[in-house]
């Protein structure tokens, strides 16, 4: 999808602080979890990036058609339950999720 086609779409920004020593296991489980989110109606694309200064911190960027696609379509789905089972055990308590909208 071209970048200008993302205007008005919703960007989920999750700051994932991973429990020390669990990054490699988290990455392996993320590979298993990725198809779960990709299958949800309203999902557009995602990127997972790792911190250079903080190698236990990842930023997960997921583009959605609407906020509801994420908060209802994904969060209330069976796929999300599987996602949580695979990934949430690696998250430190200070993990955050915020939403943004592309304007320009």
Q: What is the 3-state secondary structure (H, E, C) of 16-52?
A: EEECCCCHHHHHHHHHHHHHHHHCCCCEEEEEEEECC
pLDDT score at 104: 80
Asked whether residue 20 is assigned to any structural domain, the reply reads yes
Question: Which structural domain range is residue 60 located in?
Answer: 8-101
Instruction: Judge whether 82 lies within some domain.
Output: yes
Give the CATH number, domain containing residue 96: 3.30.70.100
Residue 2 lies in a domain: no
Domain count, the chain: 1
- Residue 1, in any domain of the structure: no
pLDDT per residue rounded down to tens, the chain (104 residues): 556 689 999 999 999 999 999 999 999 999 999 999 999 999 999 999 999 999 999 999 999 999 999 999 999 999 999 999 999 999 999 999 999 998 88
Q: Measure the CA–CA gap between 77 and 83, rounded to whole angstroms.
A: 10
Task: Let me know if residue 3 belongs to a domain.
Answer: no
10 torsion bin: left (phi>0), alpha (psi -120 to 50), beta (else): beta
Q: Using CA of residue 38, residue 44, residue 47, residue 48, what is the dihedral sign?
A: negative
> Residue 2 has what pLDDT?
59
pLDDT number for residue 1: 55
pTM: 0.93
In angstroms, the CA 64 to CA 46 distance is: 9
């Amino acid at each position: 999808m071209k970048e200008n086609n993302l205007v008005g779409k919703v960007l989920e920004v999750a700051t994932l602080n991973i429990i020390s020593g669990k990054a490699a296991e988290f990455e392996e489980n993320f590979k298993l979890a990725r198809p779960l989110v990709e299958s949800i109606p309203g999902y557009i694309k995602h990127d997972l990036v790792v911190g250079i200064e903080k190698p236990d911190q990842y930023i997960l960027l997921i583009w959605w058609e609407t906020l509801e696609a994420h908060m209802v379509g994904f969060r209330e789905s069976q796929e999300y339950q599987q996602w949580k089972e695979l990934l949430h055990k690696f998250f430190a308590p200070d993990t955050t999720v915020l939403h943004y909208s592309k304007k320009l």
